[in-house]
Structure 1
C-alpha cells in the first residue's frame, strides 16, 4: 500500500477525526479548568490607602480578602502622618482578584539622619550650597570669630551648640555657620 492510498483510507481518516475531537475536547476542558481555578470575571476594586495607618489598612484589606506587604519607607514627607501609606501598588481603583497582595510604601516617623560634612576652610557660599544639597537648611544667625579669612567657615552650630565632623542631624535641620571676620585678630 502506497502512502497516498494510506492517507485516503478509512482507518487513517477515523484516526485523524478522533485526534481532532480529542484536541478540541482537551482545549475546552483546559479553558473551563483555568476559568474555574483563576476566578475568572471576579473583580475587587483596590481602595485608596493613602494617609492611612497600618491598622486602618489591615482592617480595610481584610474586609476585601486582600493582603498587604510593606516594601519600603520613603524619605520623610511632613504632609503625611507618621507611619502612614505614601504609595501603593496596584493603584487605587485598579481591579484585582481575592487574596492579592497590595505593596505599600510608608512614611517614616522622622527625617533620616545625615552626617555633618567637613566644611572647615570653605567659603560661606560653598558651605551653604553643600549643606542645602544634602538636605539641611542654613540659618541666617552667623557667628563671627577672629580669623584672617573673611566669610570662611570655622565651625557649625545647631540650636546654639557647636557640632563637628561626623555628628548626625535629621535632614531638614537648620545649621548656623561660624565664619571668620577677615581681621585676623586685630
Structure 2
C-alpha cells in the first residue's frame, strides 16, 4: 500500500507521526480507562463509626463496606466489655479508598494485675484519689471508733486485709476502714462548771475529749469572769473518747 511506503522524507515523518499518536493513545488509555476500571480510581468510602462495637461483629460489618481492620493496641478500660473497640484511625467521617485498613485499639479481655498501693495512715479522700489513679474501684467506706478521724486504718478486698504490694487486678473493689474520730472508751462526763476556761480545756484534752462551740455571756451575780458557767452535755451521763463538749464562759 502506498501509505506505508517510505520513498521520501515526508513519508518517514508521516509514519513517525502515526506511531506517536498510537503510543499517546495507548498511554492515555492505560491511565484514564484501564486503571480507573481496574482500581476504581476516584471512588471513596466514608469511614463508619466503629468505636463501641465488639470485635466479633466487626469483620462482617467492615466486609460489607469493603473495608478491613487491624488491631494495633489493647488497653484496660474499667466498666467496658472485653474486646470492645476503644479507638479507631481514620476517624469516622473521613473518606478512604476501598480495602483501606482501619487501625483500632480494643479493651483487654482480662484486666492487668498490678501491685496494691499503700492507703493506710492517710486520709480517706487521698485514698480514693489513689484508687482511681490505679484503676481500682472504691468499695465500701466503713467508719469505726478510733481517735484518728478520717484516717484509713485498714484496706480490704472481700472482707480480707490486703497488704501494700500484693497483686491485685485492675477494676477490683477495695474497701476502706476509716476512723470516726471517737474511741471505744466511755466514762462519766466531767464537771467543768466554775472551772477556769484554760483548766477546763486542759482537762478535756487529757480525757481525749474535744472542745466544741464556746459561747461568751455576761457574768451574773456570783460568777467569776473567765470561768465555765454551763456545759453541754451535762454531768450525770457518760461520754465517749473523741466526742465534743460545748462551753459557756462568763465575761
Whether these two folds match at TM > 0.5 is yes
The answer on whether the counterparts of 1:132 and 1:138 sit within 8 Å (CA) in structure 2 is no
TM-score, with normalisation over the residues of structure 2?
0.49
Contact 1:51 1:81 in 2 (8 A): no
Separation (CA, whole Å) in 2 of partners of 1:181 and 1:44: 62
Contact conserved, 1:84 with 1:106, CA < 8 A, in 2? yes
- Residue 73 (str. 1) matches residue 74 (str. 2): yes
In the superposition, relative to structure 1, how do residues 180 and 87 fare at CA in structure 2: closer, same or farther (>3 Å)?
closer
Q: Aligned residue for 1:54?
A: 55
**In 1: Cα distance, 2:126 partner to 2:90 partner:** 43
2:211 is matched with: none
* 1:1-186 aligned within 5 A: 32=31, 36=35, 39-78=40-79, 80-109=80-109, 111-135=111-135, 136-143=137-144, 149-179=148-178
8 Å CA contact 1:120, 1:153 repeated in 2: yes
Q: For residues 181 and 160 of structure 1, what CA distance do their matches in structure 2 show?
A: 19
For 1:176 and 1:71, locate their aligned partners in 2 and report how far apart those are by CA, in whole Å.
36
CA apart distance, 1:164 = 0.8
Give, in whole Å, the separation in 2 of the partners of 1:74 and 1:152: 33
Quote the offset at 1:158 in angstroms.
1.3
The alpha-carbon distance between structure 1 residues 115 and 144, as it changes in their structure 2 partners (threshold 3 A), is farther
Paired residue total: 159
Helix, strand or coil: the match of 1:141?
strand
Q: Indicate the structure whose relative CO is greater, using CA pairs within 8 Å and at least 6 residues apart.
A: 1
Q: Structure 2 regions of 5+ residues with no counterpart?
A: 1-19, 186-251
| Separation of aligned partners in 1, 2:82 and 2:112 | 13
Unaligned 5+ residue runs, structure 1? 1-20
Give the TM-score of the pair, scaled to structure 1.
0.62
Q: Is the Cα–Cα contact under 8 Å of residues 145 and 182 in structure 2 kept in the other structure?
A: no
